[in-house]
């Protein structure tokens, strides 16, 4: 069929009148066959939950960004000074290091000043529990566990503080522990004036009070006198 015949046929034959309105696909096919209408591409339908079109951000211009400094170039013949290594400085025992706490040195005026709180409690319990002797001291037999319960300390703390009192010349061991009979150690507890006299004779005069301890020290250097 020639183009002229197709045009005449299209003018005479009306596709929309011949088909039903619902026959869109058939109508489009006949139009294409007869050449009466160009077929348009269907627009894609938006999917569910599709928002407005997104605007793209313009590309960032990196002009004017921070520039790194170029490496330093040394002139020919330049000599670098080597690092100086200083020898380590050793501090003697008498030097006070930076940040080390200093404790004030005091001269004892009584025996109780040389005791910590726990040592004084143990001394008072031993003195009150002891039996008087002819030389003014008292004798008491007691174990570390029983002594700890009386002063509300553990057995190990009671042992430590009682040994500290022995080093400070407040008490001394009179008889040792007897395993056969289960008898505890017996201690001689000195009176306060006698304790002060014994310490004066031994040079235990100056002391420092620390956090939980009282330490007898050398008045010049502050070095502890008792191990």
The domain segmentation of the chain, as residue ranges, is 3-34, 113-202
pLDDT of residue 102: 76
Residue 142 to residues 117, 138, 165, 166, 193, Cα–Cα distance (Å): 20, 13, 15, 15, 24
Output 178 or 51, whichever has higher pLDDT.
178
pLDDT of residue 208: 94
Sequence length of the chain is: 227
pLDDT tens digits for range 98-155: 455 678 899 999 999 999 999 999 999 999 999 999 999 999 999 999 999 999 999 9
- Rounded to the nearest 10°, the torsion over CA 189, 194, 199, 201 is -130
Position 157 confidence tier, pLDDT thresholds 50, 70, 90: very high
- For the whole model, what pTM was predicted? 0.55
64 has a pLDDT exceeding 60: no
Q: Give me the mean pLDDT over the 211-218 stretch.
A: 91
pLDDT of residue 98: 46
The hierarchical CATH code for the domain 113-202 is: 1.10.10.10
The neighbouring-strand residues paired with 140 are 187
Closest CA to 105 of 227, 3, 205, 17: 205
1 has a pLDDT exceeding 70: no
Position 80 confidence tier, pLDDT thresholds 50, 70, 90: low
């Amino acid at each position: 069929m020639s183009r002229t015949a197709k045009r005449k046929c299209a003018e005479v034959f009306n596709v929309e009148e011949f088909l039903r309105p619902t026959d869109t696909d058939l109508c489009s096919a006949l139009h294409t066959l007869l050449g009466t209408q160009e077929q348009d591409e269907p627009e894609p339908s938006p999917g569910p939950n599709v928002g407005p079109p997104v605007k793209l951000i313009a590309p960032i211009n990196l002009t004017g960004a921070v520039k790194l400094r170029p490496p330093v170039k040394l002139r020919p013949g330049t000599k670098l000074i080597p690092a100086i290594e200083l020898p380590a400085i050793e501090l003697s025992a008498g030097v006070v290091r930076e940040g080390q706490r200093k404790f004030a040195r005091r001269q004892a005026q009584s025996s109780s000043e040389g005791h910590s709180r726990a040592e004084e409690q143990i001394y008072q319990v031993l003195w009150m529990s002891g039996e008087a002797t002819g030389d003014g001291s008292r004798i008491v037999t007691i174990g570390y566990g029983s002594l700890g319960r009386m002063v509300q300390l553990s057995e190990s703390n009671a042992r430590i503080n009682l040994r500290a009192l022995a080093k400070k010349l407040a008490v001394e061991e009179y008889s040792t522990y007897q395993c056969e009979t289960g008898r505890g150690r017996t201690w001689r507890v000195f009176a306060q004036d006698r304790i002060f006299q014994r310490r004066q004779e031994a040079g235990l005069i100056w002391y420092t009070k620390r956090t939980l301890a009282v330490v007898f020290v050398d008045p010049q250097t502050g070095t502890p006198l008792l191990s």
